[in-house]
Amino acid sequence: MPSDLALKAMNATHRVILKVSGGKLGWSAGKMPVLELTTIGRKSGQPRSVMLTSPLQEGDTTVIVASRGGDDTHPAWFLNLRDHPEVQVSLGGKPKVAMTATVASPEERARMWPLIAGEFKNYAGYQTKTDREIPLVLLTPA
């Protein structure tokens, strides 16, 4: 599984690509849009930002996956938004928008997971690496 250092390095590299390209590169990964999610640290109380992909969008809801590459622990950003669901999201380099993060209900996940795992096989593979059920997070305008 990726270490915290490796995940931070990937995020830093992603930000460099965005900056060097003037925002022309890095706002999509494969067929998925990339977003910047800003949460409030559950311990520090400080803003924490991370670059993530969104494999599913439904109306004004953007879905993100708390996979952490199939690790047995949840990503820090997920723990942060679980404690503080008021987040900021920049989609495609647009200005940040206030959103509310909600963990998908079992029924929502049962409907959405096959759509996501069927289209993006990496997520299906991540789920096979861990016993934890990988959460889906719904981001909706606040």
- The CA distance from 61 to 21, in Å, is 28
Give phi and psi for 88, each to the nearest 5: -120, 140
Distance CA 115, CA 66 (A): 16
- Model-level pTM? 0.84
pLDDT at 22 over 80: no
Q: How many domains does the chain have?
A: 1
Is the confidence at residue 69, as pLDDT, over 70? yes
**pLDDT tens figures, 26-43:** 566 678 899 999 999 999
Range of the domain at 65: 4-141
The number of angstroms, rounded, from the C-alpha of 66 to the middle of its chain's C-alpha atoms is 6
Domain holding 32: CATH number? 2.30.110.10
Give the pLDDT confidence score for residue 7 in this predicted structure.
56
Average pLDDT over residues 5-29: 59
